[in-house]
């Protein structure tokens, strides 16, 4: 994100935080919670809220119903969720329902401009790099496959596919099953080398009982080859 959209985003968050009845605001991204410098949320709280929101975004996309706006009620309090872009979701915590009109008034005047600015800056950045803009990945799984864990995920998928083909499945069926387990992983925890065993354990359960131990050994070898883990930490 360039400096101008970044300033606009900070300005929006600061304005929202000043509204009566607003407990705090942030933008939930795949990397955590982005807040204004004088936010009412500490870093740990912002991260926890962002993870919760991102999981809801992934879940809604999984069932083919992306969130346009969501208002969650906690007794007298509210959590308002408004997508800014596919990978960034504005989240506003309201201490009381009466704060909604003032929040919506701010969003009505500021949000469209911010979305436009972020979108144009992304396109300009791609063009200035000397290449055509790359299409954004379709969903969280695709973005994960393009990140740090992408190479080892592809290696594990190859291993998983080979085992399922021996068990009578097709490569296409294995691919669908792998993506389903990655989505479950995304919903349960924040994907990282530390939480990777959660995904592995789920995949193990989908292989035949007599091949599970050898499958785990082959997956562990793929993990070692990736060098994301110290050898002694691979189980």
Q: How confident is the model at residue 206 (pLDDT cuts 50, 70, 90)?
A: very high
Do 37 and 65 fall within a single domain? yes
Confidence at residue 134, expressed as pLDDT on a 0 to 100 scale: 40
Number of Cβ atoms within 10 Å of the Cβ of 131: 8
Domain count, the chain: 2
> pLDDT tens digits for 98-142?
788 888 888 888 877 777 766 544 434 433 334 334 444 446 788
Q: Mean pLDDT score of the chain, rounded to an integer?
A: 79
- Rounded distance, CA 8 to CA 118, Å? 9
> pLDDT tens digits for 41-57?
888 888 888 888 888 88
Confidence at residue 121, expressed as pLDDT on a 0 to 100 scale: 44
Instruction: Tell me how many helices (H) and strands (E) the chain has.
Output: 8, 5
- Range(s) of the domain holding residue 85: 3-128
Residue 64 pLDDT greater than 80, yes or no: no
- When mean pLDDT is compared across 14-18, 33-37, 199-203, the lowest value belongs to 33-37
Do 16 and 122 fall within a single domain? yes
Confidence at residue 1, expressed as pLDDT on a 0 to 100 scale: 44
Do 121 and 146 fall within a single domain? no
């Amino acid at each position: 994100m360039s400096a101008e959209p970044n300033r606009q985003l900070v300005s929006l968050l600061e304005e929202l935080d000043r509204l009566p009845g607003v407990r705090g605001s942030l933008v939930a991204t795949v990397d955590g919670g982005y807040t204004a410098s004088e936010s009412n949320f500490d870093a740990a709280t912002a991260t926890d809220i962002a993870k919760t929101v991102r999981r809801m975004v992934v879940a809604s996309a999984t069932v083919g119903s992306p969130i346009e706006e969501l208002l969650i009620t906690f007794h007298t309090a509210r959590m308002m969720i408004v997508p800014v872009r596919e990978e960034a979701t504005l989240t506003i915590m309201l201490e009381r329902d009466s704060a909604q009109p003032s929040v919506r008034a701010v969003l009505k005047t500021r949000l469209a401009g911010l979305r436009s600015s972020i979108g144009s800056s992304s396109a300009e950045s791609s063009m200035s790099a000397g290449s055509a803009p790359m299409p954004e990945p379709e969903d969280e799984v695709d973005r994960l496959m393009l990140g740090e864990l992408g190479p080892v995920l592809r290696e594990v998928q190859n291993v998983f596919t080979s085992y399922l083909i021996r068990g009578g499945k097709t490569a296409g069926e294995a691919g669908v099953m792998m993506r389903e387990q990655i989505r479950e992983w995304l919903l349960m925890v924040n994907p990282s080398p530390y939480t990777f065993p959660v995904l592995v354990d789920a995949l193990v359960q989908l292989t035949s009982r007599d091949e599970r131990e050898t499958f785990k050994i082959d997956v562990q070898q793929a993990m070692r080859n990736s060098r994301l883990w110290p050898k002694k930490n691979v189980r």
